[in-house]
Chains A and B, each alone.
Chain A
Amino acid sequence: MKKILLLAVLLSAVLCTACAADSINLEETSLTLSLAMDLDEKGNLVVYQTNPIFSPEAKKKKDTLSAYNVLSLTQGNIVFDAVSNGNVVNGKTQVVLIGKNLLKQRNLFPLLDTFYRDPENAVNARLVAVDGAVKELMNFDPEDKPRLAVYLANLIDSTHRREQTVKTELGRYFHQTYEKGMTPSITEIKKGPEEILVTGTALLDSSGKYAASLNRQESSLLLLLQQNVEKPVPFIFTLSANQREGEISVNINNVDYKIVTDYIGNKFYFDIQMDMDVFLMERNFMINTEENLKKLNQKIENLLKHECEGLIAKLKEHQVDPIGLGIYARGYHYQEWKMVEDNWGQAFSEAEIIVSPKVAIQSFGVIK
């Protein structure tokens, strides 16, 4: 008995030695930190990757690899393996950049398949649309910034923390795609001459292609409507064009939502009621804030309503629903939803959507 036991232990120990083949030491990898996909002039898929260089002998800290004319990400990885210092590992990918050209021409979702299928790949990489040339951006190596992937990740995170853009990780994008009641929305960036800036949000339609872009203020409104705000949302409103009133900056906080849904005359009806606290941050004109409290509340309410409805009009025009109102339609009017389920974008564009914000200014700051 004891001999059999010993033999079993030894055998399993011998077998275990084969397992170590799975391991690649960190310094022997070519750790993908940012990954990018775009189309070249001829319409072929190009994949780019940056990985950190650990060796103290290398002058540069970042290595950008590119694979031209490949069919998929996996093929790109094989090309990268052939040209890089180590084995390509995708587990720590921070950002996945997609060129706008690519987004306009092809469905994004199947291109990202390997990220979801291979469990060793990261699903918390930030998905980003790039306005302009991806190649230029991937080769961008500013001296006053950390390495590109870290820089981009920080850039997106900090902008999102200001509620100026959505932050869609690969996992969330998967959900947004599979959820029939909404369409995906991803961060959009652009490479300027000296720096990279977040321009706002790119909206994709239900077929996974590019539909429209939102600027940063519109992105804030989108986040507000998505009920996706965690931190105060800054807004700047122009009260009126005349001399006595100018711009006012506020932070919107503590929003309570109530979404009233209905189905009237072959149309969905949504009333998004938002009850919010507002903190005054800046005003560049003279006004007795305390006396004009009600008036100010009213004005901000109207402006907010106006801007939200402007955004919704834009969404309707492109037949996209990044807000996810389809989820409410399904929840409250299942029979009617069932009929338009596969064509929600159009049904959304025909729906009647009212935004009714209720503003209460809570603070004018510490000075009068």
Chain B
Amino acid sequence: MKFFSYLKRGKNSLRSNKQAAQLLQDKISKDLNYNLTIIEKLFTKTPDLIIRRFYLNQTGQPAALVYIEGLTDKLAINEHILYPLMHEDNFGKNTGEPAAAIGRTKKAVLWNDIVNYLLMGYSVLLIDGRESAVLYDTQGWPQRAIEEPQTESTIKGAHQGFIETSKQNIALIRRYIPNRELKMKEFIVGRRSKTLVTMLYLADVAHPEVLKEMEKRIQRLDVDSIINTGELAEFIEDNSFSIFPQFQISERPDAVASHILQGRCALVVDVSPGVLVGPMTFTSFFQTVDDYSTRWISASFLRSLRFLSLFIALFLPSLYIAQVSFHYELLPLNLIMSVGESRVKVPLPPIVEAFMMEIFLEMLRESGLRLPTPIGQAVGIVGGIVIGQAAVQAGIVSNIMVIVVSLTAIASFIIPSMDMSAAIRLLRFPIMVLSALLGMLGIVLGMMAIIAHIISLESLKTPYGAPFAPLKVSDFRDTIIRFPLWSIDKRPFTARPVQRKKLNWKGKNKKSK
């Protein structure tokens, strides 16, 4: 055992992790050399840990600056910490503190704090003869430029997207809500990952119960690490056996800001560009930010199109199966003839035909997803030709089936939320089985089961089926049809805002005489 530990941690290391844990509870000592040996013991085999020894220019005390290269901003360390301390002589003019030109500084006594901050990109200044260390915020790691998120692009909205640093993300949200009431609560989640999760809400709008519930769920978490917002969502959602997403995860600051303004709360997870928003309802997954920036009539049309495509994506293949094997009467005679003529060449029963094509489509979609764009296009072309032409000519599927499959594919792509779209794509398979067994009756049973599930589902103890169940007529102004903005004078009930009114409309501007 010892030998392996030696191999893994290096020869200067503490003998066990337990010993280290004990040490971390201790305070630092006055002796700089002793402190540095402890740091070296704690961070064996850590070549990116930099320890810079120097003498403070004014007092001549030996000191050391400890930081991790790569997590820190080199320029800030060199010019704003090391240079003033080594060459300037205004040390302690007023405060008796080392005069580094860094805004955010902290004092730490415990080894535990020092180690944590060190790993977060802070620089630690240890001075001989002092029993506390100074921590400088020199965070600066490689990060992506702000660009438009690929999955949530918009035509008329803002083109900014979140990145992987929560500080920046919060700033992006704050740009939309420069208000004192925008409050934040910070949590550290994950024993090892120590991920910073920030809860954002409007203190005078958000419902305290919702906030309390969210807080409770985050605090209850005891996990090793959180890498992505999706992971966090799965830990804190109401029903993890449901196929429907209960939180929206968005990469758009404008979308998140508008949710916060309606009274919802948002979780910004450091290291993930996705921001989690809750409580959500089923219908809110069919809305986009663009709905509010286009004219209300066309926005309403697009919204109703999305709900129509929800039904097409869910039920069209099952309808095809039910029609072809149970209820021919429902089809017009001419359609029966052409369906019959193309079906008769197909050796498979409709359910197998439909399953095959739908699964093929899913494979095509998934295979194109992770390929570089030029190859992805090639996959599309191959798939298109195979589905569209060859399969029909070879007599494996009927050409009506090809139309059905492509229509469902298009319809499922219209749904703006990726999570919701995935849920609906998956749900259509059980309904296809039901329709093959029971025909239209099966489809109706499936529909009933889905509706019952949506009604019973909750998101942060807020009804998921609202505004339909429970019925809130006032929310219909912004559900399937978006009324003109001036008529939506209240925040949606579904977000449970404490303050409902959001605008005063005194009629249109009259012409002055």
Contact = CB atoms under 8 A, between A and B. Distances in A.
A55 B439 contact: no
B341 interface: yes
User: Chain B contact residues: over half helix, strand or loop, or mixed?
Assistant: helix
B446 to A, nearest CB: 12
Interface residues of A, number: 26
Given A20-B436, A26-B324, A31-B336, A122 B329 contact: yes
Given A16-B438, A31-B328, A122-B329, A26 B343 contact: yes
B470 interface: no
Contact of B325 (A26, A33, A55, A94): A26
Contacts of B345: 56
Chain B CB within 10 A, most for which of A20, A25, A29? A25
Interface in B53-99: none
Given A25-B350, A54-B341, A56-B341, A16 B325 contact: no
A150 B328 contact: no
Contacts of B340: 26-27, 31, 52, 54
Contacts of B350: 25
B120 interface: no
A23 interface: yes
Centre residue among B340, B350, B439 by max chain A CB count within 10 A: B340
Given A17-B437, A19-B438, A54-B344, A25 B324 contact: yes
B325 A25 contact: yes
B355 interface: no
Contacts of A89: 328
A236 interface: no
A10 interface: no
B486 to A, nearest CB: 46
Top-4 shortest CB links A-B? A54-B344, A23-B325, A91-B329, A54-B340
Interface string A330-364: 00000000000000000000000000000000000
B439 A22 contact: yes
B427 interface: no
A82 interface: no
Q: How many of chain B's residues touch chain A, expressed as a range?
A: 20 to 34
B192 to A, nearest CB: 33
B187 interface: no
A56 B346 CA distance: 12
Given A56-B344, A56-B345, A92-B328, A26 B439 contact: no
A16 B446 CA distance: 13
B392 interface: no
A91 B328 contact: yes
A150 to B, nearest CB: 7
A316 B350 CA distance: 57
Interface of A: 16-17, 19-20, 22-27, 29, 31, 33, 52, 54-56, 89, 91-92, 94, 120, 122, 149-150, 153
B328 A26 contact: yes
Nearest to A21: B437
B339 interface: yes
Contacts of A52: 337, 340
Contacts of A55: 344
B365 to A, nearest CB: 28
Interface in B419-477: 434, 436-439
Contact of B336 (A24, A92, A153): A92
Given A52-B337, A91-B329, A19 B344 contact: no
B145 interface: no
Contacts of A122: 329
Nearest to B439: A23
Contact of B437 (A20, A25, A26, A149): A20
Contacts of B439: 22-23
Contact of B349 (A25, A92, A153): A25
Contacts of A92: 328-329, 333, 336
Interface string B315-327: 0000000001111
> Which of B334, B337, B350 counts the most A-chain CB atoms under 10 A from its CB?
B337
Nearest to A124: B329
B114 to A, nearest CB: 49
A283 B320 CA distance: 54
A20 B436 CA distance: 7
Contacts of A16: 434, 437-438
A54 B345 CA distance: 9
A119 to B, nearest CB: 10
Contacts of A91: 327-329
Given A25-B325, A25-B343, A91-B327, 6 more contacts: A16-B434, A23-B326, A25-B350, A89-B328, A91-B329, A150-B333
Contacts of B329: 91-92, 120, 122
28 contacts: A16-B437, A17-B437, A19-B438, A20-B436, A20-B437, A23-B325, A23-B326, A23-B439, A25-B324, A25-B325, A26-B324, A26-B325, A26-B339, A26-B340, A26-B343, A31-B328, A31-B340, A33-B333, A54-B337, A54-B341, A56-B341, A91-B327, A91-B328, A94-B333, A120-B329, A149-B333, A150-B334, A153-B333
Nearest to B322: A23
B341 A22 contact: no
